Each structure stands twice: as structure tokens, then as C-alpha cells.
């Protein structure tokens, strides 16, 4: 009986050792293939995603340039406008541009998108401040001059600060 158990163990033990060795070798081989596949997958997705991300940054910079108050006032102001008309048209232009670029937030960092929203809000605040500080009989030209004066007093415009931030982020991601 003891002889049979020992003979069985002598027969089963080498099989178990070979099986365990094969298991670890196969696991290591499969892990190696998986890592290589994952690396190849990431390389391929980077070929697709990186250009889309850069395009999103380009569109956001264009958005920021378009809502930059000096550009926006020059583009929107028409002779004979009242301050209220100018305010409404400026705010509508900002909202339209923003809505047109909402999908870009998918491709940029949370910090970048937060900066874009802040610029939009700060720009709206400057417009509303200018509109509310004018007398009732003021003209749209006076409002546009006041807006330009307000941004001239700033060390850096909100749009410029955001564009600089985006450029810095792009440089870090290259």
C-alpha cells in the first residue's frame, strides 16, 4: 500500500512540476503578447487621436480669438447702434461661438475647458459692466470705446491668458 502511494507520487510529482512550469511559461508568454498588443493599440490610437486633439486646441484658440473683445467689438459694432443693441449682439455672438465649440471639451484637458468657460464668463462680465455704467443717452460707439478702454486697462486680456495657457499645455503634451 505504501509502495503504491510512493510510486503514484513519483509518477504524479514530475507531471505536476512540468504542468506548473508550463503554466508559468505560458502565462509569461501571453502577458508578453498582451503588452505588445496594448502598445501597438496605443500607437495606432495616438495616430488618430493626436491630430484630433491638436485640431480641438486650434479651434479653441480660434474661438478665444473670435470672442476677444477687441476683435469682437470691431466685428459686431455697426454705426448707429445703441448700447443695448451692441450688448445684445456681442452676447449673442459669444454664446453662438461657444455653443459651436462645445464638443471640443472632449479632446482637451479639464483645466483647459475650465479656462475657456472662465474667459467666456469674464468677457460677458466686461460687456455687461460697460453697458451698465453708461448713461441712458449714450451711443453704441461710446460703449465700444468703453469696452476697449476697460480691456486696455487689464494687464492681460482673458482671451490672451487662456491662449497662453493652451499653448503651454500643448507644449507639455508634445
Tens digit of each residue's pLDDT (9 = 90 or more) over 54-110? 899 999 999 999 999 999 999 999 989 999 999 999 999 999 999 999 999 999 999
| Torsional class of 77: left (φ above 0), alpha (ψ -120 to 50), beta (otherwise) | beta
* Predicted local confidence at residue 73, as pLDDT: 95
Identify whether the C-beta of residue 123 lies closer than 8 Å to the C-beta of residue 94. Answer: yes
Q: Kindly report the average pLDDT of the chain as a whole number.
A: 91
What is the C-alpha separation between 145 and 156, in angstroms, rounded? 18
Question: What is the average pLDDT across 169-174?
Answer: 81
Asked if residue 158 has pLDDT above 90, the reply is: yes
The dihedral sign for the CA sequence 79, 80, 83, 89 = negative
Which pLDDT score is estimated for 174? 59
Confidence bin at 51 (pLDDT 50/70/90): confident
| Confidence check: pLDDT of 45 > 80 | no
Rounded Cα distance between 76 and 62, Å, is 17
Between residues 4 and 104, the one the model is more confident about: 104
Query: Cell 448700447 sits at which residue?
Result: 83
Q: Residues in the chain, how many? A: 174
Q: How far is residue 168's CA from residue 76's CA, in Å, rounded to a whole number?
A: 30
User: In whole angstroms, what is the distance from residue 66 CA to residue 90 CA?
Assistant: 11
The answer to whether residues 133 and 146 touch, using CB atoms and an 8 Å cutoff, is yes
- pLDDT at position 106: 92
The pLDDT, as a whole number, for residue 14 is 86
Average pLDDT over residues 130-148: 93
CA atoms of 63 and 45, how far apart (whole Å): 27
Which pLDDT does position 87 carry in this prediction? 96
Q: Which residues of 16-49 are buried (b: 16+ CB within 10 A; e: fewer)?
A: eeeeeeeeeeeeeeeeeeeeeeeeeeeeeeeeee
Amino acid at each position: 500500500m505504501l509502495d503504491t502511494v510512493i510510486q503514484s507520487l513519483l509518477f504524479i510529482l514530475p507531471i505536476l512540476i512540468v504542468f506548473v512550469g508550463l503554466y508559468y511559461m505560458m502565462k509569461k508568454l501571453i502577458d508578453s503578447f498582451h503588452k505588445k498588443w496594448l502598445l501597438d493599440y496605443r500607437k495606432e490610437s495616438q495616430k488618430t487621436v493626436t491630430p484630433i486633439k491638436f485640431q480641438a486646441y486650434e479651434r479653441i484658440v480660434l474661438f478665444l480669438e473670435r470672442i476677444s473683445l477687441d476683435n469682437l467689438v470691431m466685428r459686431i459694432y455697426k454705426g448707429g447702434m445703441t448700447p443695448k443693441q451692441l450688448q445684445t449682439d456681442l452676447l449673442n455672438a459669444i454664446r453662438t461661438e461657444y455653443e459651436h465649440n462645445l464638443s471640443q471639451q472632449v479632446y482637451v484637458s479639464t483645466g483647459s475647458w475650465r479656462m475657456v468657460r472662465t474667459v467666456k464668463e469674464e468677457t460677458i462680465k466686461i460687456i455687461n459692466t460697460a453697458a451698465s455704467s453708461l448713461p441712458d443717452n449714450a451711443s453704441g460707439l461710446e460703449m465700444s470705446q468703453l469696452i476697449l478702454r476697460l480691456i486696455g486697462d487689464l494687464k492681460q486680456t482673458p482671451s490672451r491668458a487662456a491662449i497662453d495657457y493652451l499653448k503651454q499645455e500643448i507644449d507639455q503634451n508634445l
